[in-house]
Homo-oligomer: A and B are copies of this chain.
Amino acid sequence: MKNILIIGCGLLGSSVLRSIHKNKLADKVYIYEKSKKNISRIKNLKLPGTVVSSLKEAVTKSNFIIFCTPMSEYKNIIMKINNYISPNTLITDVGSSKIESSKIIKKFLKKGIAWTSSHPIAGSEVSGPQHGKSNMFEGRWCILIKEKNTIKKNLNFLKKFWEKIGSKVTIMSPEKHDKIFSITSHLPHLIAYNLVKSAQDFEKKQSYDLIKYSAGGLRDFSRIAASNEIMWRDIFFNNNKNISNAIDLFIKNLKSFKSDINSKNNKSIINKLIETKKVRSKIIKLKQDINKPDFGRS
Protein backbone atom coordinates (compact mmCIF):
# COMPACT_ATOMS: atom_id res chain seq x y z
CA MET A 1 0.00 0.00 0.00
CA LYS A 2 0.91 3.54 -0.44
CA ASN A 3 0.94 6.98 0.99
CA ILE A 4 -0.51 9.58 -1.30
CA LEU A 5 -0.07 13.34 -1.24
CA ILE A 6 -2.75 15.53 -2.79
CA ILE A 7 -1.54 19.03 -3.54
CA GLY A 8 -4.46 21.43 -3.87
CA CYS A 9 -7.68 20.25 -2.28
CA GLY A 10 -10.48 22.07 -4.05
CA LEU A 11 -13.27 20.49 -6.08
CA LEU A 12 -11.06 17.96 -7.89
CA GLY A 13 -8.48 17.37 -5.14
CA SER A 14 -11.16 16.65 -2.57
CA SER A 15 -12.94 14.36 -5.01
CA VAL A 16 -9.72 12.41 -5.56
CA LEU A 17 -9.33 12.28 -1.78
CA ARG A 18 -12.87 10.99 -1.27
CA SER A 19 -12.44 8.43 -4.06
CA ILE A 20 -9.18 7.12 -2.61
CA HIS A 21 -10.80 6.77 0.79
CA LYS A 22 -13.94 5.08 -0.56
CA ASN A 23 -11.88 2.55 -2.50
CA LYS A 24 -9.25 2.09 0.23
CA LEU A 25 -6.36 2.89 -2.10
CA ALA A 26 -3.89 4.33 0.42
CA ASP A 27 -2.55 3.77 3.90
CA LYS A 28 -2.36 7.47 4.47
CA VAL A 29 -3.34 10.54 2.46
CA TYR A 30 -1.65 13.88 3.02
CA ILE A 31 -3.28 17.10 1.91
CA TYR A 32 -1.39 20.27 1.08
CA GLU A 33 -3.66 23.23 0.52
CA LYS A 34 -2.70 26.88 0.59
CA SER A 35 -6.14 28.46 1.10
CA LYS A 36 -6.97 28.88 4.80
CA LYS A 37 -10.66 28.93 3.94
CA ASN A 38 -10.35 25.55 2.21
CA ILE A 39 -8.33 24.12 5.09
CA SER A 40 -11.04 24.98 7.58
CA ARG A 41 -13.65 23.55 5.22
CA ILE A 42 -11.65 20.31 4.96
CA LYS A 43 -11.44 20.12 8.73
CA ASN A 44 -15.11 20.95 9.30
CA LEU A 45 -16.12 18.32 6.74
CA LYS A 46 -13.81 15.84 8.50
CA LEU A 47 -12.41 14.77 5.15
CA PRO A 48 -10.32 11.59 5.45
CA GLY A 49 -6.77 12.94 5.17
CA THR A 50 -4.03 14.70 7.09
CA VAL A 51 -3.62 18.37 6.32
CA VAL A 52 0.07 19.29 6.34
CA SER A 53 1.41 22.81 6.51
CA SER A 54 4.84 21.96 5.12
CA LEU A 55 5.63 19.79 2.13
CA LYS A 56 8.80 18.27 3.54
CA GLU A 57 7.45 15.35 5.53
CA ALA A 58 4.55 14.58 3.22
CA VAL A 59 6.70 14.54 0.08
CA THR A 60 9.32 12.35 1.73
CA LYS A 61 6.75 9.83 2.95
CA SER A 62 4.60 9.61 -0.18
CA ASN A 63 4.96 7.16 -3.07
CA PHE A 64 2.47 9.02 -5.20
CA ILE A 65 1.76 12.74 -5.53
CA ILE A 66 -1.27 14.21 -7.30
CA PHE A 67 -1.24 17.88 -8.30
CA CYS A 68 -4.79 19.24 -8.21
CA THR A 69 -3.92 22.95 -8.17
CA PRO A 70 -4.43 25.44 -10.99
CA MET A 71 -1.66 24.90 -13.55
CA SER A 72 -0.12 28.29 -12.83
CA GLU A 73 0.89 26.91 -9.40
CA TYR A 74 2.92 24.00 -10.77
CA LYS A 75 6.22 25.83 -11.08
CA ASN A 76 6.19 27.20 -7.52
CA ILE A 77 5.33 23.86 -6.00
CA ILE A 78 7.85 21.97 -8.13
CA MET A 79 10.56 24.30 -6.83
CA LYS A 80 9.52 23.41 -3.27
CA ILE A 81 9.25 19.64 -3.65
CA ASN A 82 12.53 19.34 -5.59
CA ASN A 83 14.31 19.47 -2.25
CA TYR A 84 12.58 16.40 -0.84
CA ILE A 85 11.38 14.22 -3.65
CA SER A 86 12.87 10.80 -4.38
CA PRO A 87 12.96 8.90 -7.71
CA ASN A 88 10.68 6.26 -6.17
CA THR A 89 7.80 8.71 -6.06
CA LEU A 90 5.51 9.11 -9.05
CA ILE A 91 3.86 12.46 -9.73
CA THR A 92 0.72 13.08 -11.73
CA ASP A 93 -1.64 16.00 -12.15
CA VAL A 94 -5.21 16.60 -13.26
CA GLY A 95 -4.63 19.70 -15.39
CA SER A 96 -6.77 20.33 -18.45
CA SER A 97 -4.04 21.25 -20.94
CA LYS A 98 -0.78 19.42 -21.39
CA ILE A 99 1.82 20.88 -23.78
CA GLU A 100 2.66 23.98 -21.75
CA SER A 101 2.65 22.28 -18.37
CA SER A 102 4.89 19.56 -19.78
CA LYS A 103 7.39 22.29 -20.72
CA ILE A 104 7.27 23.69 -17.17
CA ILE A 105 7.73 20.24 -15.68
CA LYS A 106 10.67 19.41 -17.98
CA LYS A 107 12.27 22.73 -17.23
CA PHE A 108 11.89 22.86 -13.45
CA LEU A 109 11.36 19.36 -12.03
CA LYS A 110 14.51 17.74 -10.64
CA LYS A 111 16.06 15.30 -13.13
CA GLY A 112 15.24 11.66 -12.58
CA ILE A 113 11.77 12.27 -11.16
CA ALA A 114 8.81 10.85 -13.10
CA TRP A 115 5.73 12.96 -13.77
CA THR A 116 3.14 11.23 -15.91
CA SER A 117 0.18 13.47 -16.55
CA SER A 118 -3.53 12.64 -16.17
CA HIS A 119 -6.64 14.49 -17.22
CA PRO A 120 -9.87 13.21 -15.73
CA ILE A 121 -12.79 14.63 -17.74
CA ALA A 122 -14.80 15.65 -14.72
CA GLY A 123 -15.60 18.81 -12.86
CA SER A 124 -18.34 21.31 -12.32
CA GLU A 125 -19.03 25.04 -12.21
CA VAL A 126 -18.62 25.09 -8.43
CA SER A 127 -15.29 25.26 -6.61
CA GLY A 128 -13.99 24.21 -3.24
CA PRO A 129 -13.63 20.99 -1.21
CA GLN A 130 -17.22 21.21 0.04
CA HIS A 131 -18.42 20.35 -3.48
CA GLY A 132 -16.18 17.31 -4.04
CA LYS A 133 -17.76 13.90 -4.53
CA SER A 134 -16.48 10.36 -4.16
CA ASN A 135 -18.19 9.34 -7.41
CA MET A 136 -16.83 12.30 -9.42
CA PHE A 137 -14.77 10.08 -11.72
CA GLU A 138 -17.10 7.11 -12.08
CA GLY A 139 -17.86 6.32 -15.69
CA ARG A 140 -15.81 9.30 -16.86
CA TRP A 141 -12.87 9.30 -19.20
CA CYS A 142 -9.41 9.88 -17.85
CA ILE A 143 -6.71 10.72 -20.40
CA LEU A 144 -3.14 9.66 -19.63
CA ILE A 145 -0.38 11.45 -21.45
CA LYS A 146 2.34 9.48 -23.16
CA GLU A 147 5.49 11.32 -24.20
CA LYS A 148 8.74 10.02 -25.63
CA ASN A 149 10.27 9.39 -22.23
CA THR A 150 7.15 8.14 -20.44
CA ILE A 151 7.78 4.92 -18.52
CA LYS A 152 5.30 2.15 -19.24
CA LYS A 153 5.20 1.01 -15.62
CA ASN A 154 4.01 4.47 -14.57
CA LEU A 155 1.30 4.50 -17.22
CA ASN A 156 0.16 1.11 -15.99
CA PHE A 157 0.12 2.29 -12.39
CA LEU A 158 -1.95 5.36 -13.29
CA LYS A 159 -4.30 3.32 -15.47
CA LYS A 160 -5.04 1.03 -12.53
CA PHE A 161 -5.40 3.97 -10.14
CA TRP A 162 -7.97 5.80 -12.26
CA GLU A 163 -9.81 2.57 -13.08
CA LYS A 164 -10.06 1.74 -9.40
CA ILE A 165 -11.87 5.03 -8.79
CA GLY A 166 -14.23 4.25 -11.65
CA SER A 167 -12.77 5.96 -14.73
CA LYS A 168 -12.29 4.66 -18.25
CA VAL A 169 -8.71 5.29 -19.30
CA THR A 170 -7.26 6.18 -22.67
CA ILE A 171 -3.74 7.24 -23.62
CA MET A 172 -2.65 9.97 -26.02
CA SER A 173 0.12 12.45 -26.80
CA PRO A 174 0.02 15.96 -25.32
CA GLU A 175 -0.40 17.36 -28.85
CA LYS A 176 -3.46 15.26 -29.62
CA HIS A 177 -4.87 15.91 -26.15
CA ASP A 178 -4.58 19.68 -26.45
CA LYS A 179 -6.16 19.69 -29.91
CA ILE A 180 -9.11 17.52 -28.93
CA PHE A 181 -9.86 19.42 -25.74
CA SER A 182 -9.49 22.80 -27.40
CA ILE A 183 -12.69 21.82 -29.24
CA THR A 184 -14.62 19.69 -26.76
CA SER A 185 -13.91 21.73 -23.65
CA HIS A 186 -11.82 24.90 -23.97
CA LEU A 187 -13.73 26.52 -26.83
CA PRO A 188 -17.13 25.68 -25.24
CA HIS A 189 -16.04 27.37 -22.02
CA LEU A 190 -14.73 30.42 -23.84
CA ILE A 191 -17.92 30.61 -25.90
CA ALA A 192 -20.05 30.39 -22.78
CA TYR A 193 -18.07 33.17 -21.08
CA ASN A 194 -18.30 35.22 -24.26
CA LEU A 195 -22.04 34.75 -24.64
CA VAL A 196 -22.71 35.83 -21.08
CA LYS A 197 -20.36 38.79 -21.55
CA SER A 198 -22.26 39.79 -24.70
CA ALA A 199 -25.58 39.57 -22.85
CA GLN A 200 -24.16 41.79 -20.11
CA ASP A 201 -22.93 44.33 -22.65
CA PHE A 202 -26.30 44.32 -24.38
CA GLU A 203 -28.13 44.74 -21.09
CA LYS A 204 -26.02 47.76 -20.18
CA LYS A 205 -26.38 49.37 -23.62
CA GLN A 206 -30.13 48.85 -23.89
CA SER A 207 -30.96 49.30 -20.20
CA TYR A 208 -33.16 46.21 -20.49
CA ASP A 209 -33.44 43.92 -17.52
CA LEU A 210 -32.97 40.74 -19.52
CA ILE A 211 -31.33 38.15 -17.29
CA LYS A 212 -34.73 37.27 -15.87
CA TYR A 213 -35.68 35.95 -19.30
CA SER A 214 -32.66 33.65 -19.46
CA ALA A 215 -34.68 30.42 -19.40
CA GLY A 216 -34.93 30.54 -23.20
CA GLY A 217 -31.32 29.41 -23.59
CA LEU A 218 -28.89 31.78 -21.91
CA ARG A 219 -29.15 30.05 -18.53
CA ASP A 220 -27.44 26.91 -19.92
CA PHE A 221 -24.37 28.94 -20.83
CA SER A 222 -24.32 30.79 -17.53
CA ARG A 223 -23.55 27.53 -15.73
CA ILE A 224 -20.30 26.95 -17.61
CA ALA A 225 -19.50 30.67 -17.46
CA ALA A 226 -19.53 30.41 -13.66
CA SER A 227 -16.50 28.11 -13.65
CA ASN A 228 -13.35 28.93 -11.69
CA GLU A 229 -11.59 31.91 -13.28
CA ILE A 230 -8.03 31.00 -12.27
CA MET A 231 -8.29 27.48 -13.62
CA TRP A 232 -9.79 28.71 -16.90
CA ARG A 233 -7.35 31.57 -17.35
CA ASP A 234 -4.55 29.02 -17.03
CA ILE A 235 -6.14 26.72 -19.61
CA PHE A 236 -6.79 29.56 -22.06
CA PHE A 237 -3.24 30.89 -21.72
CA ASN A 238 -1.60 27.45 -21.85
CA ASN A 239 -3.50 26.14 -24.86
CA ASN A 240 -3.72 29.48 -26.66
CA LYS A 241 -2.62 28.30 -30.09
CA ASN A 242 -5.14 25.50 -30.42
CA ILE A 243 -7.85 27.69 -28.91
CA SER A 244 -7.03 30.50 -31.36
CA ASN A 245 -7.47 28.08 -34.25
CA ALA A 246 -10.71 26.87 -32.76
CA ILE A 247 -11.94 30.47 -32.42
CA ASP A 248 -11.12 31.12 -36.08
CA LEU A 249 -13.05 28.05 -37.21
CA PHE A 250 -15.93 29.06 -34.95
CA ILE A 251 -16.07 32.62 -36.34
CA LYS A 252 -15.89 31.34 -39.93
CA ASN A 253 -18.86 29.05 -39.29
CA LEU A 254 -20.78 31.76 -37.46
CA LYS A 255 -20.40 34.10 -40.43
CA SER A 256 -21.73 31.35 -42.66
CA PHE A 257 -24.78 31.00 -40.38
CA LYS A 258 -25.25 34.78 -40.48
CA SER A 259 -25.17 34.73 -44.24
CA ASP A 260 -27.75 31.88 -44.35
CA ILE A 261 -30.00 33.83 -42.01
CA ASN A 262 -29.78 37.12 -43.87
CA SER A 263 -30.20 35.55 -47.31
CA LYS A 264 -32.90 33.20 -45.95
CA ASN A 265 -31.02 30.22 -47.41
CA ASN A 266 -33.42 27.50 -46.35
CA LYS A 267 -31.55 24.50 -47.71
CA SER A 268 -28.21 25.48 -46.22
CA ILE A 269 -29.54 26.28 -42.75
CA ILE A 270 -31.79 23.22 -42.50
CA ASN A 271 -28.85 20.99 -43.47
CA LYS A 272 -26.77 22.50 -40.71
CA LEU A 273 -29.49 22.24 -38.07
CA ILE A 274 -30.25 18.61 -38.94
CA GLU A 275 -26.58 17.62 -38.93
CA THR A 276 -25.80 19.20 -35.54
CA LYS A 277 -28.83 17.48 -34.03
CA LYS A 278 -27.17 14.09 -34.58
CA VAL A 279 -24.39 14.88 -32.13
CA ARG A 280 -26.81 14.90 -29.19
CA SER A 281 -27.95 11.32 -29.88
CA LYS A 282 -24.34 10.26 -30.26
CA ILE A 283 -23.44 11.82 -26.90
CA ILE A 284 -26.37 10.10 -25.20
CA LYS A 285 -25.47 6.78 -26.82
CA LEU A 286 -21.89 7.16 -25.60
CA LYS A 287 -23.29 7.81 -22.10
CA GLN A 288 -21.59 11.18 -21.93
CA ASP A 289 -24.75 12.92 -20.75
CA ILE A 290 -28.00 12.17 -19.00
CA ASN A 291 -30.70 10.69 -21.27
CA LYS A 292 -33.47 13.04 -20.23
CA PRO A 293 -34.85 16.18 -21.89
CA ASP A 294 -33.54 19.41 -20.39
CA PHE A 295 -30.83 17.48 -18.45
CA GLY A 296 -33.71 16.18 -16.33
CA ARG A 297 -33.59 19.44 -14.40
CA SER A 298 -37.25 20.41 -14.65
> Contact residues of A with B, CB < 8 Å?
96, 121-126, 131, 133, 135, 140-141, 143, 176, 179-181, 183-203, 206, 208, 210-227, 229-230, 232-233, 236-237, 240, 243-244, 246-247, 249-251, 253-255, 257-258, 260-262, 264, 266, 269-270, 272-277, 279-283, 286, 288-290, 292-298
Do most interface residues of chain A lie in helix, strand or loop, or is the interface mixed? Answer: helix
Instruction: Say whether A225 contacts B188, CB under 8 Å.
Output: no
Instruction: Say whether B191 contacts A273, CB under 8 Å.
Output: no
A185-B217, A214-B288 known; A208+B258 contact, CB < 8 A: no
Query: What residues of B have a CB within 8 angstroms of the CB of A254 in the complex?
Result: 190-191, 194, 247, 250-251
Instruction: Say whether A288 contacts B189, CB under 8 Å.
Output: no
Task: Give the distance in Å from the alpha carbon of A220 to the alpha carbon of B184 in the complex.
Answer: 10
Copies of the protein in its oligomer: 2
Instruction: Say whether B217 contacts A188, CB under 8 Å.
Output: yes
The distance from the CB of A272 to the nearest CB of chain B, in whole angstroms, is 6
Which of A125, A183, A227, A275 counts the most chain B CB atoms within 10 A?
A183
Instruction: Say whether A208 contacts B222, CB under 8 Å.
Output: no
Task: Give the distance in Å from the alpha carbon of A82 to the alpha carbon of B280 in the complex.
Answer: 41
6 pairs across A/B with beta carbons < 8 Å?
A124-B293, A183-B203, A188-B221, A197-B276, A214-B289, A289-B297
Instruction: Say whether A296 contacts B297, CB under 8 Å.
Output: yes
Instruction: Say whether A216 contacts B121, CB under 8 Å.
Output: yes
The distance from the CB of A295 to the nearest CB of chain B, in whole angstroms, is 4
Which listed residue, B193, B203, B217, touches A189 by the CB 8 Å rule?
Answer: B217
A125-B280, A270-B229 known; A195+B202 contact, CB < 8 A: no
Query: What residues of B have a CB within 8 angstroms of the CB of A237 in the complex?
Result: 261, 264
A217-B224, A224-B217, A225-B277 known; A236+B180 contact, CB < 8 A: no
Task: Give the distance in Å from the alpha carbon of A276 to the alpha carbon of B228 in the complex.
Answer: 11
Task: Give the distance in Å from the alpha carbon of A44 to the alpha carbon of B93 in the complex.
Answer: 54
Query: What residues of B have a CB within 8 angstroms of the CB of A176 in the complex?
Result: 208
Query: What residues of B have a CB within 8 angstroms of the CB of A274 in the complex?
Result: 229
The distance from the CB of A215 to the nearest CB of chain B, in whole angstroms, is 5
Instruction: Say whether B297 contacts A290, CB under 8 Å.
Output: yes
Task: Give the distance in Å from the alpha carbon of A149 to the alpha carbon of B18 in the complex.
Answer: 64
